[in-house]
Amino acid sequence: MTESALSRRFHGKVVVVTGSAQGIGMTVARRLVAEAATVVLVDRSELVHEVAAELRDSGGLAHGVTADLERFSETEAAMAEAHRRHGRIDVLINNVGGTIWMRPYEHYDADRIQAEIQRSLFPTLWSCRAVLPYLIEQRSGTIVNVSSVATRGVNRVPYAAAKGGINALTASLAQETAQYGIRVVATAPGGTEAPPRRIARNSDDQSAQEEAWNQQVVDQTTDSSLMKRYGNLDEQAAPIVFMASEEASYITGTVLPVAGGDLG
């Protein structure tokens, strides 16, 4: 594929990117706009509108939608707005999620366990369900879920369970929807270097013990990578965009590890 063709891979495509106010989601949105996509950025933070404005200022086609994707009603409304505005949805990239706390499982209380599952599984479950009627009606579409290789990792059991659920969702939904011309795939990022978060996952002051538990996660993540390092945002975004593109047209039901050789 020529460079000019590569830069236009998503021309005429409407792509919804969730969790796109910062981090991997924002980097994915920027790449998609650079490749001529029309991008709908969805996040519960108002910062998503700043990101959309930046993309428009650079000549891209983008707008932001605020929604709490842990709630099905708001998820459904966000997908309906994207469809109403553009008449179709070609790609959904489910990027919401992330560990809120890091600690051995016996130190999680019931509320924290539920919060981790609610944060890292339900936004993807809800978003797939909300977008599906539009994709089935148009007999085409791609869903890219962002999972994690932390399905095998220390101090994040509830998060690991949530991401394991996303892997199962990806495989099962791919089987159900292939008959409609829909692909469902996922990437599984490993540790990723990123600028400080503008929206904290939690506001707790960390104790010395909690800092030690966090360091155990960093050490295990690095040791599990054959490359012995964290990736960067572009190294995560590029495979997501590839899986969303027509170049991956014969891939479905697959989870692609992106973790320097750590398979999760």
Bridge partners, 142 (sequence order)? 91, 183
CA distances to 27, 99, 158, 217, 258 from 214, in Å:
25, 11, 15, 5, 21
The CATH superfamily holding the domain 3-258 is NAD(P)-binding Rossmann-like Domain (3.40.50.720)
CA-closest candidate to residue 38, choices 68, 76, 8:
8
Do the beta carbons of residue 39 and residue 56 sit within 8 Å? no
Note the pTM of the prediction, 2 decimals: 0.95
Radius of gyration of the chain (CA): 18
Structural tokens at position 115: 């919060």
CA-closest candidate to residue 144, choices 19, 6, 48, 36:
19
d(CA 232, CA 209): 27
d(CA 102, CA 109): 12
Catalytic annotation on 159? yes
> Among 108, 134, 159, 230, which one carries the catalytic annotation?
159
**How confident is the prediction along the chain (264 residues), in pLDDT tens digits per residue?**
445 555 789 999 999 999 999 999 999 999 999 999 999 999 999 999 999 999 999 999 999 999 999 999 999 999 999 999 999 999 999 999 999 999 999 999 999 999 999 999 999 999 999 999 999 999 999 999 999 999 999 999 999 999 999 999 999 999 999 999 999 999 999 999 988 866 666 667 789 999 999 999 999 999 999 999 999 999 999 999 999 999 999 999 999 999 999 998
